[in-house]
Structure 1
């Protein structure tokens, strides 16, 4: 079955992002932030943005394949936005509401692709 990623961006609050991250950890997906990282470092009042960019498969976890590797525009506790990645199950992504207009989605994609953002790892290195 050839499954492609949806061509959309979805907004999530911090509690939903933490739930998606916990799901990725529980399912053994490669891209997650580790237990407790988002709770400690994500801005609890912010809206974050997920953009699926590729289909990812795990041979050792076929029950969770395929899933979508998403670029994440993440706002951290100091208010800075950083680039991160999160693997998300298709049903979980599809269950998120569509709340953004086309111009906002385009702006977010441009920031993720060309915004010169620090990565989550780079930000973590200077913000222990």
Structure 2
């Protein structure tokens, strides 16, 4: 079994927030969320997600559905409790986009630009004095 990110105490707090944002309490909810966090931490392809987290495709589909519905953003905002704005640090990085990721017929803005390295998107993160994220764009 892979190393888990959330202690039982943190999971109980996060579970309450998830349930408040219309995420159903299925029996595999914790392992699904742990799989999503593992994938974000490790940066591995979805297909390489350890089997202990469940079927990679199921975890991927739930992650995409929650993202498309704006649930992850609502969860992120719910976790922002009393930030310390004595200091705010901002950092940015470029994330490489797939060569076929831009140019689709869509009304949505894509925020994908060209550089020497190919298609990229800039990501910004602001953290408070404790190093906890307060905003990302």
TM exceeding 0.5: no
Higher relative contact order (CA 8 A, sep 6+): 1
Larger radius of gyration: 2
